[in-house]
Amino acid sequence: MLRTRVIPCLLLEDEGLVKSINFKKPTYIGDPINSVRIYNELEVDELIFLDIKASINSTPPPFKKLEMIASECFMPFSYGGGIRTLDDVKKLFDLGVEKVVLNTIACENLYFITQIADIYGSQSVIISIDVKKPLFGQNRVYIKDGTKKSQYTPIEYVKIVENYGAGEIMLNSIDKEGLMDGFDLALIDKISDAIDIPLIATGGAGELLDIKKAKDAGASAIALGSMAVYQNKNRGILINFPTQKELTTILNED
């Protein structure tokens, strides 16, 4: 049996580490390099970095900062934000990034997913899907850091991107992000049933039990945001991560 992956998901803005709530008002957490060093000591298996403003501001990935991160990082890491071209993808992989995370660009140009998958393999492409429920109507996929509603429902979109070559889906509930009150388990359940590729659940974890609930709902992996940068729900800044013993116990995995 494959062990459930639990991954810190770290947000970058102006090359600093931040944390938001419902995709709003990012709070400065610290320097990402120092955070990487702490995660090295905690023996975290992998990391995800997302530049939350790159697509909105039409800026490229922060290659120099990512090169510094790669030089310090003992574990594989994925990156998303501002990726627009195959040259961007090549530069990221040359720097040591293991997987690229696509959000806005994938929705605007589905064939870009196929292009990357054809060259580097589907396993190198994560499609990040941000979901929000409007005041009236059903859940929709949002792009540009949650500021623009797309034409797709989540179920429609995950099936499409899987068909275009996505290797993994990272599912984030905008309504739950940063609140630390649990995942949207019904959404995870529906999306996991709709696809045959791994699903990374993120957005809402506040305690160890939330990780188990996401797994039981169908998530193949769980990405932690607030839990990885805050000491507790009072949001005192502390770069941390559950121990392997804690994860093994809560997930019932030996």
**For 172, phi and psi rounded to 5 degrees?**
-125, 130
Instruction: Please report, to the nearest 10 degrees, the dihedral formed by the alpha carbons of residues 108, 114, 117, 123 taken in order.
Output: 60
The three-class DSSP label of residue 199 is strand
Q: Where are the alpha helices (DSSP H) in the chain?
A: 32-41, 54-57, 63-72, 86-95, 104-108, 111-120, 154-163, 185-194, 208-217, 226-229, 244-251
Q: Hey, what amino acid is at 190? A: K
Q: Hey, what amino acid is at 80? A: G
Q: Hey, what amino acid is at 181? A: D
The three-class DSSP label of residue 14 is coil
Tell me the C-alpha distance between 48 and 62, whole Å. Answer: 14
Tell me the C-alpha distance between 65 and 120, whole Å. Answer: 23
Of 51, 130, 184, 210, catalytic = 130
Tell me the C-alpha distance between 209 and 127, whole Å. Answer: 26
Q: Is 130 a catalytic residue?
A: yes
Q: State the catalytic residues.
A: 130
